[in-house]
Each structure stands twice: as structure tokens, then as C-alpha cells.
Amino acid sequence: EICACLVGSEMCIRDRIKSAQPDTSYDSLKDYLRIVFSYAGTASMDTEAQPIPLSDLQVGDVFLKGGNPGHVVMVVDLCENADGKKAFLLAQGYMPAQQFHVLKNPAHEDDPWYYEDEVTYPFHTPEYTFQKGSLKRLNYGITHTAPE
């Protein structure tokens, strides 16, 4: 965690410890982020994420293909009609960090929404195909609450 590093705490990564004096400089932040980004990716996300059923879909959930290379697309918006049927928007970015953008739905030329009742596996997005079990939730102690 960056706050701990700013006060000089040690960072443990695979039994190696990096320790430093307190440093709140921009260079220190960049060094910290290089370490985090070198170990954080779809492979580590895949081990930390829990599969969920489509019926439990929430904003922030992901379709995840772990590995090196892997890929992830995130649910960035969700709506539900009076009958309880859901539609959702997906977005993606690339490494190194590039523009994060909403995906087109290849099944609907002029409509980017993905519809719950149309989802089958393998699940196709414009550039990646996800297998059954790839819909996952990362829970880092963050609770999802809908606005009132």
C-alpha cells in the first residue's frame, strides 16, 4: 500500500523485501507503481477473483482471461427493466496503460449494450472471447451499493 511505503514501511513481494526511508517524492511514487504494476496483471487477478453467476452482475465485475498475456473487460454500467432483465456496458484498456474505452457489442451494430438474456459461452467481445467461468468479482473489501 502506497501510504505504508511513504512512511518507510517494507513491501514484501515473493519473499523479497524492499525497504526504504520515508519518501513522499514523485520519483518514489513512480518506483512504487513500477513494482506494483510489474506484479499486478490478469494472472494475479485471476487467482484473487471469485466466479459469479450472470444473475449477480454488478458494476465493477469483470470478464477475465488470466495469464500472460491475458485480458480483462469491466462492467462499467448496468441497467434493469421492469421485468428484471439486465443490460450492461463493457470497457477495456491495454498495457501499458492506454485509453480506457467502452466496447461495441459485435451482436448489435448500433447498440453497445450487452443483454443478459443474449449472453452465451464462449462470450464474444470485439477483440476477445471469454469462456464459461470467466465472469468474476474482485473483492478488495469494497462494497457495492446502488445510489438511491
Helices (H) and strands (E) in the chain — how many of each?
3, 11
Hey, how many other C-beta atoms are within 10 angstroms of the C-beta on 70?
16
**Of 144, 147, 141, 136, nearest in space to 45 by CA:** 136
Statement: the pTM of the whole predicted model exceeds 0.75: no
Each residue's pLDDT expressed in tens, for the chain with a length of 148 residues: 444 544 555 555 444 455 667 778 888 878 777 777 677 778 778 888 999 999 999 999 999 998 888 889 999 999 999 998 999 999 998 766 667 899 999 999 899 999 999 999 999 999 899 999 999 998 865 555 555 5
Alpha-carbon distance 38 to 57, whole Å?
29
Q: Residue 6 and residue 32: Cα distance in Å, rounded?
A: 9
